[in-house]
Amino acid sequence: DFGGEVERVLKMADGVLLLVDAFEGVMPQTRFVLQKALRLHLKPIVVINKIDRADARADEVLEEVFDLFVELEADDDQLDFPTIYASGRDGWAVREEGQTSPDLEPLMDTIIESVPEPRIAEGTLQMQITALDYSEYVGRIGIGRVYRGTLEPRKKIAIIKRDGSIGTVEIKQVFTFEGLEKKESNAVHAGEICSVVGIEKIDIGDTLADRENPEPLPLIAIDEPTISMTMMVNNSPFFGKEGQYVTSRQLRDRLYREMESDVALRVEDTPSPDTFKVYGRGILHLSILIETMRREGYELQVGQPKVIYKEIDGRKAEPIESLVVDVPADLAGKVIEIVGQRRGEMISMEPKGSITHLEFHIPSRGLIGLRNRLLTVTSGEAVMHHRFYQYEFFRGSIPQRLNGALISMAEGPSTGYAIDSLQDRGRFFIPPGTLVYKGQVIGEHSKDNDIEVNVQKGKKLTNMRASGSDKALKVAPPTIFSLEEALEYINDDELVEVTPESIRLRKLYLDENDRKRHRLNKPLHNF
């Protein structure tokens, strides 16, 4: 979801540290980021971390890294990379296995020795904005690297926008970075990274240049959104009990404020003042935003993620992703079958010891819920990674979730007695004692239809039966969803309720009669 952001940040760098686990070795996502760094001709330093693990296999991992460099067509200088062995937890690094060091000084020395000094061109000012920050006090803050010349505050300079238009602006303040701190500066020279304050409508890709000689730098690609979802004010029976920010105005202000610093995000108002359409790079991108808001004290509800379609040559087109799955060899067949059901096309299959490396091209909508499915059929052993590939013509329908939902028919705390007696109907998402409301999705039905269940029912005691004479309850552990898993799980008639303390699944219409009318496409009100 963040491929474009990675590429923009790499353009500001002179070298990279490739961090690899001494046991896990090269991960699927390692390939993606390293490929971008090598194409930008950055000097790599390989850091093999967790070298103090009992099961570390540093030599094998180093061979894997070298093979990956060769596969990604690294040049001779990049192939001659220095290697550092480290323990991030204990804070030490060494150049050779078996050596000792009290700190990370060998790593710092290697960076100084191996990473070249910034490439600086002669000429007038040129700086490109590659990232944005936002402050409630000063507004948008542009971050980038000065490629040429010197940038000084309180001087008139030219700004060249993405469409080629040229304007005149004055920067109020310039800050350089020292460690994690910002330091105000009176002059920033070529090769330095800085942030600029005072330009209201600054955007990623804008070039700051000399007024007399405004030369633009090559445009930076900004990833287009591929997924949309509806975010709305929480209107469940538990509204306002757990969150601090619960109104539509507060939700709208927060979403529009996020757009100031996240260029891959789009937010639109809808005819309903309580509902907003949000577009992003993928489920992970949007779930990070929702999780951040949740931790800030917001309550909201989120609908099922939808893929954004385009029209190409008069035909419907959809985003296709490049999917990589590493799985034990004996489970590869199951993975291929599941991805095939979701209109995935296998590109390559490569055995790597006991692991099989699979590559597919799959529609973005086929990825929704795929991670949970693969982890289930492989007992958690599948490792998957995906990135946007391109738009292609629509590949046809994809089967939805096969199972229906177990829905609470009343409000109140659930009981172990009720859940135990209903376990043959499916699996539950809540433990005994959880407070639930009518219309909340509390489990998955073992069949394909939704059913309402009473989880508040308690055991009736009479003078004919002692309370301790019955069999002991054996309630299976509930399935607890993360936010991302919940978004992937829901159907189009369901919502995820997100509060600072809870993640709940619910039906769009809480009342069973309303749900029946909705299924029959009948109006809910007869005014």
Sequence-ordered strand ranges (E) for 439-501: 440-445, 451-453, 494-498
pLDDT band at 401 (very low <50, low <70, confident <90, very high): confident
Note whether 442 and 408 are within 8 A (CB): yes
Interval 64-76: pLDDT, tens: 899 989 988 888 8
What single-letter DSSP state applies at residue 423?
A: G
Residue 27 or residue 448, greater confidence: 448
Considering 63-72, 289-298, 391-400, the range whose residues carry the highest mean pLDDT is 289-298
Residue 2 has a pLDDT of 66
For the segment 395-406, the average pLDDT, to the nearest whole number, is 85
| DSSP per-residue string spanning 64-101 | HHHHHHHHTT--HHHHS--EEEEETTTTEEESSTT---
Q: How far apart are CA 189 and CA 185, in angstroms?
A: 10
For domain 405-519, the CATH class is mainly beta
For the segment 32-45, the average pLDDT, to the nearest whole number, is 87
For domain 3-114, the CATH class is alpha beta
Q: How far apart are CA 516 and CA 527, in angstroms?
A: 19
Q: How far apart are CA 51 and CA 86, in angstroms?
A: 6
Note whether 475 and 423 are within 8 A (CB): yes
* Ranges of each domain in the chain: 3-114, 126-209, 310-393, 405-519
Q: Which fold does the domain 310-393 belong to in CATH?
A: Alpha-Beta Plaits (3.30.70)
Please enumerate in sequence order all residues whose Cβ is within 8 A of that of 93, keeping only pairs 6 or more positions apart, or say none. 47, 84, 85, 86, 87, 101, 103, 104, 105, 106, 107
For the segment 33-51, the average pLDDT, to the nearest whole number, is 89
pLDDT exceeds 80 at position 180: yes
pLDDT exceeds 90 at position 522: no
Residue 527 has a pLDDT of 34
Q: How far apart are CA 373 and CA 336, in angstroms?
A: 12
For the segment 28-33, the average pLDDT, to the nearest whole number, is 74
Percent of the chain with pLDDT over 90: 47
Q: How far apart are CA 71 and CA 354, in angstroms?
A: 20
Cα-flanking dihedrals φ and ψ of residue 373, to 5°? -65, -45
Residue 430 has a pLDDT of 93
SS3 4: helix
For the segment 194-214, the average pLDDT, to the nearest whole number, is 89
pLDDT band at 471 (very low <50, low <70, confident <90, very high): low
For domain 126-209, the CATH class is mainly beta
Residue 28 has a pLDDT of 64
Where is average pLDDT lowest: 217-221, 310-314, 518-522?
Answer: 518-522
What single-letter DSSP state applies at residue 424?
A: G
Interval 77-124: pLDDT, tens: 899 999 999 988 888 888 888 788 888 999 999 999 999 888 777 888
Interval 296-307: pLDDT, tens: 999 999 999 999
Residue 469 has a pLDDT of 53
pTM for the predicted model, two decimal places: 0.77
The residues with which 178 forms a beta bridge, in sequence order, are: 181
Distances (CA, A) of 419 to 49, 168, 466, 510: 46, 68, 21, 21
